Amino acid sequence: MTTYTGGCQCGAIRFRVSGDIKDSSICHCRMCQKAFGAYYAPLVSVRGADFEWTRGERKKFRSYNFVERGFCGDCGTPLTYEAPDGVAVAAGAFDDPSSLPPTIQWGVEGKIGFVDHLHELPGERTEADLAAGSFLNELVSYQHPDHDTPVWPPEDRT
């Protein structure tokens, strides 16, 4: 049985999924665009798998009469789409989102035209932007690492 872990950006909320995950998608509907603050929302259905929250409690926003969206109340990371037929978890919240490639696109009526051309844009590594601001050389990330930790955040945040 495969086990997947993940959580929010600040580490206040963590989850574990055990079992087969077969339904990974991208939703282009306007509601998902707003909920994720992005051009589309990558979601992974955990229907049929054993899903559990292992740290913290998510906040919820009721986006439809039967649907709630879970998010971290501390850092704002979108976490879930919760409907009567199951829960879908934000793909980027998994510790290894590359292991869950999308298999279908939903809400294509709301798809933004340039999304199909994103791969044509020039690409740069993160470090290429260091010259843009001297503060970037001294940045310290407070993002939770992509694995479970016994305690978070660490005591020595300076």
pLDDT > 90? residue 153: no
Q: Which one of 2.40.10.340, 3.40.50.300, 3.40.47.10, 2.170.150.70 gives the CATH number of domain 3-138?
A: 2.170.150.70
* Span 35-62, pLDDT tens digits: 999 999 999 999 999 999 999 999 999 9
- The pLDDT confidence band at residue 34, using thresholds 50, 70 and 90, is very high
* Contact of 38 with 26, CB cutoff 8 Å: no
Report residue 86 CA to chain centroid gap: 17
Can you tell me whether residue 113 is helix, strand or coil? helix
Report residue 49 CA to chain centroid gap: 18
* Span 77-127, pLDDT tens digits: 999 999 999 999 999 999 999 999 999 999 999 999 999 999 999 999 887
Q: Which of 25-29, 55-59, 63-67, 73-77 has the lowest mean pLDDT?
A: 63-67
- The pLDDT confidence band at residue 158, using thresholds 50, 70 and 90, is low
What are the residue boundaries of the structural domains of the chain, listed by start? 3-138
Record the pTM: 0.89
Average pLDDT of the chain, as a whole number: 93
- The pLDDT confidence band at residue 157, using thresholds 50, 70 and 90, is low
Instruction: Write down the pLDDT at residue 151.
Output: 80
The C-alpha atoms of residue 127 and residue 136 are separated, in whole angstroms, by 9
pLDDT > 70? residue 156: no
Enumerate the β-bridge partners of residue 68.
62, 82
